[in-house]
Amino acid sequence: MATPTQTAPHPAAEAEEVYRRWLQFLDEEFTRHKSPERRAEVVRDQLYQLYLGRPHGGKLNLTLTSELPGNILNLSLDPENVTLEAGHFSDVDRQKFDERKPLLWFWAMFDRSPVGLNHWLGIRFRCMLGRHIFAQMGNGVRIYHGVDLTYGYNLRIDDGVVIHQRVLLNDRGGIAIGRGAVIGSFARILSHAHGRENYEKVTLLPTTIGANARIASHAIVLGGTHVGDGEAVGSFPSHQG
């Protein structure tokens, strides 16, 4: 007897329409505007509504001690008031990073918001935003919740790649992930190394993960590694059956 085809979980039709309209709006805004200032305004306005349920506007009362926590939250929703660790690295490409900093903040803060756990929306949001952050973003990519980026602009992702939750993609020296590769949850992909005697001395080491490669959950791929097509890195359960 034939097995019934399973339908992938889906939001209600009305919700899907609203989700798609929002993603299209954001995609068009980030395509139209490349300046860090305008992108920061767009992200600020979106985060105000995601976190506070209201549009940005109105003056903060900066004199009342009792309102300081609220002011901190309000101010920190604006990417222009935020510093990211990667912005301090000596090898940062300032122009590329400044263009993407608002989007990197949006990436992280979306995942920390209540709607970030919405699986259907989250995968599509990250793919949309990745097209404006990464050097290359393929088709049919799935990026799950909590993936951590460094620069973003040194990251190349080919078609059909799957990146599971809480992966670190430290692309300081460049990371290329080939078609159909799968990165397991909590894996760490590096592309640089620190000096043994002088930790502040950083060597950039591009990392390549070949087509259809498999990186196991919690595996660490060191900078400069070339994982060949179809190769597996890390521990996988032995085959059962």
* Mean pLDDT of all residues in 55-67: 79
* Mean pLDDT of all residues in 198-215: 95
Give me the pLDDT at residue 84, please: 97
Give me the pLDDT at residue 2, please: 46
Give me the pLDDT at residue 158, please: 98
Give pTM, 2 decimals: 0.92
Q: What percent of the chain has pLDDT over 70?
A: 96
User: How confident is the prediction for the chain on average, in pLDDT?
Assistant: 93
Residue 191 pLDDT exceeds 70: yes
Instruction: Report the largest interatomic distance among the alpha carbons of the chain, rounded to a whole angstrom.
Output: 73
Q: What angle do CA 205, 157, 120 make, to 5 degrees?
A: 135
Rounded-to-integer distance, Cα 229 and Cα 106, Å: 33
- The secondary structure of 64-93, three-state, reads CHHHHHHHHHHHHCCHHHCCCHHHHCCCCC
Q: Which CATH architecture has domain 20-233?
A: 3 Solenoid (2.160)
Residue 66 pLDDT exceeds 50: yes
Residue among 191, 197, 192, 189 at smallest CA distance from 213: 189
Confidence class for position 199, pLDDT limits 50, 70, 90: confident
Give me the pLDDT at residue 238, please: 73
* Mean pLDDT of all residues in 31-53: 96
Is 180 within 8 Å of 160 (Cβ atoms)? yes
Q: For 127-160, how does the pLDDT look when each residue is reduced to its tens digit (9 = 90+)?
A: 999 999 999 999 999 999 999 999 999 999 999 9
Rounded-to-integer distance, Cα 212 and Cα 197, Å: 37
Rounded-to-integer distance, Cα 60 and Cα 143, Å: 37
Rounded-to-integer distance, Cα 209 and Cα 215, Å: 9
